[in-house]
A and B are shown apart, each in its own frame.
Chain A
Amino acid sequence: MWLWFSKLGSPKWFYELSGKWLPWLIATMILFLVIGATWALLYVPQDYQQGLTNRIMYVHVPVASLSLSFFPLMAVAGTITLVWKMKLADMVVKVAAPLGAWFTALALASGSIWGVDTWGTWWIWDGRLTSLLLQLFLLLGIISLRSALEDSDAAARACALLSIVGCINVVVIKYSVDWWNTLHQPGTTFGMSSDQPNGPEFWIPLLIMGIAVALFFTVSLILATRNEILERERRSQWVQELVQE
């Protein structure tokens, strides 16, 4: 197990393996995205209260849920950076921050568009919205922290620590709608048959879109990490050979 662990930390090994996975991941992602988006935008029944507006859900919910996975991911990678000083882990922390900021911004934007139509306002300082905005600022903070510190080892340590600290906010975002009264709805529980609220006709396309967005997240993360590997390992022999090919 430890052998596997240290092998995973080798940038060259990751670069080669991820290169083999990428075409498959991208093909599956496109498949799920086409099926999910078509289904969600054309065939989902209209909601009895919101009509067509609730179809924003099929973008908002996957993006928003995925945006919560960045801090746990960065915290795990950050812990590995701090304890085992694995180079690859720090690369993941570095490239995940801007990606996470985009996901969070997209979740806030799609939520705002949904909100203006249903609630009657773009923004309100309730627990859910405010804590998600805090996550965006934390991620922007991590990005600027890295560029502010010249010593790359110190930057890696600082960013790793901030990623671990930021995880607490994820718990707050998740449970904000249960702990406090908010304008944002509490979490929806799926209905198991189509004669119940939130039945399969609503959540199966949501699940497909969720998988599509999760694959998009994986593909973006792999591409960004590969880019970072080439950048940091540009003096190593295998990268030189790769460039010459």
Chain B
Amino acid sequence: MKPHRRKRLGIILFIAAGLSVSVGLILYAMSQNIDLFYTPTQVAEGEAEVGQRIRIGGMVKEGSYESAEDSLQVRFETTDYVNSVPIYFEGILPDLFREGQGIVAEGTVDAEGIFQASRVLAKHDENYMSQEVKAALDAAGATPENHQLSPQPES
């Protein structure tokens, strides 16, 4: 390779490396803000201010779902299997909403620590299988653990 070409390649690599490092540092610094939602533990520990609009993400706690008979009001608890936060919502839930599945709710925490949701979204996990496989796995007691939300190995 000719010297002037080698020099030019060096400059390009230097720019690319410098930019990667700076973008990496920016993203690291902002990582709290890029997270889409608070976990139930973060809300239970009071990280979200009362009245502030936030999103909360967790699993719908088994056996916690209650709905009013004459309106669209529902109440359920969302949990990360450490802490749970009760959620009130009035409206139509997505088709994939069910106990034991992940959800993300938008709204505010009120003074009693109840989350007043204005919108509930369903989160689906990365496991796809047919009814038969699911049934066979359940029978064998080997359903893959859906209990983790997004993988957060370090926390």
Contact = CB atoms under 8 A, between A and B. Distances in A.
B9 A79 contact: yes
B140 to A, nearest CB: 9
Given A79-B9, A83-B12, A46 B131 contact: yes
A188 B151 CA distance: 12
A24 interface: no
B96 A49 contact: yes
Contacts, number: 134
Interface residues on B, range: 35 or more
Contacts of B124: 49-50, 118-119, 185
A214 to B, nearest CB: 22
Interface in B100-150: 101, 104, 119-134, 136-137, 144, 149-150
Interface residues on A, range: 35 or more
A79 B12 contact: yes
Contacts of B149: 181
Interface stretch (B34-42, B46-54, B62-70, B71-79): B34-42
Contacts of A126: 36
Contacts of B12: 79, 82-83, 161, 164
Closest 8 CB pairs of A and B: A120-B94, A45-B130, A181-B150, A197-B127, A48-B134, A188-B126, A126-B36, A197-B129
28 contacts: A49-B96, A79-B9, A82-B12, A83-B5, A119-B122, A120-B94, A124-B104, A127-B34, A127-B36, A161-B15, A164-B15, A167-B16, A178-B150, A179-B27, A179-B34, A180-B31, A181-B149, A183-B57, A183-B123, A185-B123, A188-B128, A189-B126, A194-B133, A195-B137, A196-B129, A196-B133, A197-B128, A198-B128
Interface of A: 45-50, 54, 57, 79, 82-84, 117-121, 124-127, 161, 164-165, 167-168, 171-172, 177-183, 185-189, 194-199, 201-202
